[in-house]
Amino acid sequence: MSSSTPAHPPTIPLKLLHDLLQPITIPASSPEAKFTNWGLTFTCAPLAVFEPETEYQCELILELARREGKVVRAVGVGHSPSDLACTTGYMLRTTKLNKLVHAEKRYVIAQSGISLDALHAELAIHNLAMINVGSISDQTLGGIVTTATHGTGINYGVISTHVLALTLLLADGSRVHCSRHEKSDLFIASICGLGSTGLILTITLEVEPAFRLREVQETIEFEECVRNLDTLVNASEHVRFWWFPAAGTMRVSSADRTQEPCRPVGSWLWHSFLGFHVIQFFLFVARYFLSLNPWIGRFAAWLVSEKVTAIDDSFRIFNLECRYPQHTTEWAIPYENTQACLRDLQTWLMQELADPKGLRPHFPIEVRFSDADDIWLSPSVNQRTCWIGIVQYKPYGFEVPYKKLFERFEGILFRHGGRPHWAKAHQLRPDTIRNLYPRFDDFTRVLQDVDPRGTFRNEYVERHIFGKTGPKYDGRVFKRYAPS
């Protein structure tokens, strides 16, 4: 066949199809033929792992999946701390589909596999920046869009609200362009679609001229923070809290756009040696002596207790050091429930700390905010939102107890109207999710329309969206061993 006019995938004989896919197929003997997420919490062995470099190769993968009746799961860098990316079918790694295709003053078009780190660098060449960014940038753009990943700022929506259009490769091999004005239902379903509507090829993303942020961090008492919540949250464009329950303090970060010259902060002693290596060693020891955890929390709170002001490029302020592999869960609650929820969490955690046999959580608890949106499966749909997340670190990759802690945390958040972050493990099933999302049935209708055979439905989607049960769909089927 002519290289300039590649054959239409349905016309290609099966043997030739396998031959064409062989160069982008990870050998079964390679460690890369298995998948483990960043947090070292879920792992899977797909039937095959492909790393396409072109959109045509993506079409070939889908054609093979159609003929063999297999699921195709797109995955970026695997940062989601759940089994969202796991599959026993075909895995399509998007990390080589990583180009910035086009840039204008207020929007860019990028391939879905580009990492945010790479996107920041490309945008800087054009004197542009993302409007808002979450805590990390080693995720792919496609990954953050399909899970409605968020930054912080009570007047800023989740990052999916900045998506203007998508190009999708559907299960039947057709390519479609969608936006709020063209195939709008498919668009709204896809910008928080868990990768189940189709393979995202390109994303048109709203951006703004490059900007710096001036961030002020200071530590205040927990009760002062909760009492003055509205004032603090609305005082700056981007506000987030880090709560150290054992110390009874909140670290308040307030960031605003500025024209001032860069003035970053940080030192090797405080932020690398003490803040990273010493803390990790203490956490490792605390695996055997759980009573040390409150002391470590107070020590960590002391390390960051001084008031500091930093000025830097926007994404450098938005991002923070994710530290170590970890178990994590995060839930979104209606903003108006924030004060009551934080006080209920404090009451519970103080009871745990007072009990010699109580749970010993790590730190900090992160509290962020987002504006309401209209995205069907966004945890911020129809409500201004407070996001609250907890972690249990895995020092040097070793396991720590977390299940009971997370169950009790999630129970409190659920009572306050909580919706789980889609990228993180949770126990909710369709009957409950339907009550939380008024347009849930519209979402499933779109899935049935564009993918009736379930080509893009991995175990996570089948479990949480369609209610499939059985050993294959158990929430721990891909879970690495972990103590309770």
Residue 354 and residue 435 in contact, taking contact as beta carbons nearer than 8 Å? no
Percent of the chain at pLDDT exceeding 90: 88
Where are the strands (E) in 135-274, listed by range?
Answer: 163-169, 175-179, 199-209, 212-221, 238-244, 249-258
Beta bridge partners of 178: 166
> In this model, does residue 409 exceed pLDDT 90?
yes
The 10s digit of each residue's pLDDT in 250-275 is: 999 999 999 999 998 875 555 667 77
Predicted confidence (pLDDT) per residue in 179-205, tens digit? 999 999 999 999 999 999 999 999 999
Q: Which residues pair with 163 in a beta bridge?
A: 205
Q: How far apart are the first and last CA of the chain?
A: 57
**How much is the pLDDT for 322?**
75
CB 461 within 8 A of CB 196: yes
Name the band, by pLDDT with cuts 50, 70 and 90, for residue 475: confident
Please report which confidence band the pLDDT of residue 484 belongs to, taking 50, 70 and 90 as the band edges: very low
Nearest alpha carbon to residue 422 among 324, 349, 329: 329
Cα 473 → chain centroid: 21
Q: Reading across the β-sheet that carries 326-334, which strands appear in turn?
A: 308-313, 212-221, 249-258, 238-244, 365-370, 385-393, 326-334, 419-420
Burial pattern 113-148, b for ≥16 Cβ within 10 A else e, equals bbbbebbbebbeeeebbbbbbbbbbebbbbbbbbbb
Could you give the strand order of the β-sheet that contains 48-50, starting from the edge strand earlier in sequence? Answer: 48-50, 90-93, 72-75
2 pLDDT band (50/70/90 cuts)? very low
Give me the chain's average pLDDT, please. Answer: 94
Confidence of residue 341 (pLDDT cuts 50, 70, 90): very high
pLDDT at 400: 92
For the chain, what's the residue count?
484
Say what the pTM is.
0.94
**Residue-level pLDDT at 45:** 95
State the pLDDT confidence band at 3, using cuts at 50, 70 and 90.
Answer: low
The confidence score (pLDDT) of residue 352 equals 96
Neighbouring C-alpha atoms within 13 Å toward the C-beta of 317: 32
CB 330 within 8 A of CB 389: yes
Q: Stretch 307-316: mean pLDDT, rounded? A: 96
Which of 301, 296, 286, 295 lies closest to 244 in space, CA to CA?
Answer: 301
Mean pLDDT value of segment 457-468: 96
Whether 481 has a pLDDT exceeding 60, the answer reads no
Helix (H, G, I), strand (E, B) or coil at 147: coil
**For residue 269, what pLDDT is reported?**
54
Alpha-carbon distances, residue 30 vs 17, 34, 45, 48, 397 (angstroms): 22, 8, 11, 11, 22
Whether the Cβ atoms of residue 190 and residue 197 lie closer than 8 Å to each other: yes
Question: Is 80 exceeded by the pLDDT of residue 483?
Answer: no
State residue 217's pLDDT score.
Answer: 96
The whole-number pLDDT of residue 271 equals 64
Residue 276 pLDDT grade (very low, low, confident, very high; cuts 50, 70, 90): confident
Mean pLDDT of 155-183: 98
Per the CB < 8 A criterion, the answer to whether 434 and 440 are in contact is: yes
Q: Please, what is the Cα angle at 142 between 471 and 421, to 5 degrees? A: 55
Q: What are the two backbone dihedrals, phi and then psi, of residue 25, each rounded to the nearest 5 degrees?
A: -100, 125
Tell me the pairing of strands 212-221 and 249-258: antiparallel
Q: How far is Cα 56 from Cα 317, in angstroms, rounded to an integer? A: 38
Contacts of 369 (CB under 8 A, 6+ apart): 152, 153, 154, 233, 239, 240, 335, 384, 385, 386, 387
Mean pLDDT for the stretch of residues 379-401: 95
Arithmetic mean of pLDDT, 15-28? 96
What tens digit of pLDDT does each residue of 203-249 get? 999 999 999 999 999 999 999 999 999 999 999 999 999 999 999 99
Q: What is the pLDDT of residue 324?
A: 84
Q: List the beta strands (DSSP E) in 335-384.
A: 365-370
pLDDT in tens, 46-76: 999 999 999 999 999 999 999 999 999 999 9
Sign of torsion, CA 464 469 471 474?
positive
Residue 482 clears pLDDT 50, i.e. is over it: no
Antiparallel, parallel or unpaired: β 308-313 and 212-221: antiparallel
Buried b / exposed e across 237-270, counting CB within 10 Å, b at 16+? bbbbbbbbbbbebbbbbbbeeeeeeeeeeeeeee
- Six token digits for residue 298: 């107070």
The answer, yes or no, to whether residue 360 has pLDDT greater than 90, is yes
